Structure 1
């Protein structure tokens, strides 16, 4: 006997179409990237991989990524005219495609951003998993694994003994429960990057405390991504 389908099985994110993978997910990857950058970029280089490389123009992923880089939400009607809004905002961008990256998820995007006003740069690799669901799998060469559906804390800190336990303790005292944690480093005793997903928002005073620690170099807090 076939299973009955439910209306809830067919509901996806509220979005501008045509596809949750090619538009909503792409917008959310871009929104994650600008939050990591800490501002709207002035320059962007976007690389589409595999199936995205073959379809990004026809399915509107190019407009979606630009819209997200301008801070638009997935349901913003301005997505359709994202290129015009980018011109008004002074955002310069280039697109390129790599159709045969066999080690990457079929719907992968690499976003390299620069804000000339602050001299900040960031490189983010994200995957669009369908239904608007994303995974951010790399930030500035550090492996990561977060979705943006939870609050995310990114810390650059000295690779010192006890540092991970200390950060976890600070978060616990803020009554925040850690859902996932991934720690990456490029070498022993080098700077380590911690990616921490938490179930609830973290207080400003806690972020300020973490930022003033001498062995913590940078703290980036990303509330849930629309």
Structure 2
């Protein structure tokens, strides 16, 4: 990823100590919560490489918990996030990945398995520097987006014309597409499309996309 300005390197307005291990971790947790659609009851978080080595010392554990509570990077409650999570009934289990995972993911990577009574979702995200992140996987889909812009995650049937239908609806709202990524389980199987937009994603747009044949689920990630 190419940083857009010096502030992308320094990091966002945040509660420290580290833009990568703390601010980036908050954003990974928050993106995962928004993809899940609500606060989960349980979260099993697997930490890889650098995250696994230093997660308590750099506050990665409390930062991920804060993100799951939908807090921003500047929230002064971040150091007490685990306490607040427990009070709200959110059970978090941290697991350090073994040495066999070296080289598989970016050094600052977390895989979050989120669960509620009726839903389970797996979200993998990496903190790539300066508080910036990249989501690199959702469930069994190999998908990538940065969360720098409002993002649509659209789960749908893989059928001919569905992408054209989606982009047609987006154009009706005069919304420019900055980035799109698509993955599918197989021809005519399940698919996931992520679209980063240059502006606010309105509820009316979500409703219009939901009305398209074959749309299963829509989530909006907006960390702006």
TM (norm. structure 2) is: 0.92
- Report what 2:17 is aligned to: 18
Q: How many Å separate the matches in 1 of 2:183 and 2:8? A: 36
Label 1:98 to 1:203 Cα distance change in 2 as closer, same or farther (>3 A): same
Larger radius of gyration: 1
Instruction: Please name the residue that 1:111 is paired with.
Output: 112
1:136–1:147 CA contact under 8 A, matched in 2: yes
Task: Mark the runs of 5 or more structure 1 residues left unpaired by the alignment.
Answer: 1-6
1:122-146 per-position Cα deviation (integer Å, ceiling 9, x unaligned): 1100000111100000001101111
Cα separation, partners in 2 of 1:85 and 1:172, compared to 1, 3 Å: same
The yes-or-no answer on 1:144 pairing with 2:126 is no
* 1:110 Cα offset (Å): 0.3
| Distance in 2 (alpha carbons) for counterparts of 1:13 and 1:165 | 36
Structure 2: distance between partners of 1:202 and 1:15 = 25
Cα distance in 1 for residues equivalent to 2:199 and 2:181: 18
1:50-199 matches, within 5 Å, as 50-100=49-99, 101=101, 102-116=103-117, 119-199=118-198
Structure 2: segments with no counterpart, 5+ residues? 1-5
How big is each residue's C-alpha offset from its partner over 1:132-190, in whole Å with a ceiling of 9 and x where there is no partner? 10000000110111111111111112211121122111111210111111110011110
Q: CA RMSD in A?
A: 1.7
Q: CA deviation at 1:107?
A: 0.5
Distance in 2, matches of 1:30 and 1:198, equals 21
Which structure features the higher share of strand residues? Answer: 1
Q: Quick one: distance in 1 between partners of 2:16 and 2:110?
A: 18
1:112, 1:204 → 2: CA distance?
27
Q: CA deviation at 1:74?
A: 0.7
1:4-58 residue CA offsets vs partner (Å, 9 max, x unmatched): xxx8687421111110001000000000000011101110000000111111111
2:8–2:131 Cα contact (<8 Å) kept:
no
Partner Cα distance (2:25, 2:214) in 1: 35
Q: Tell me, in whole angstroms, the C-alpha distance in 2 between the residues paired with 1:202 and 1:196.
A: 11
CA displacement, residues 194-218 of structure 1 (integer Å, 9 cap, x when unaligned): 1111111122222112112231111
The count of aligned residue pairs is 218
Please tell me whether the aligned partners of residues 54 and 99 of structure 1 are also in contact (alpha carbons under 8 angstroms).
Answer: no
Q: Which residue of 1 aligns with 2:3?
A: none
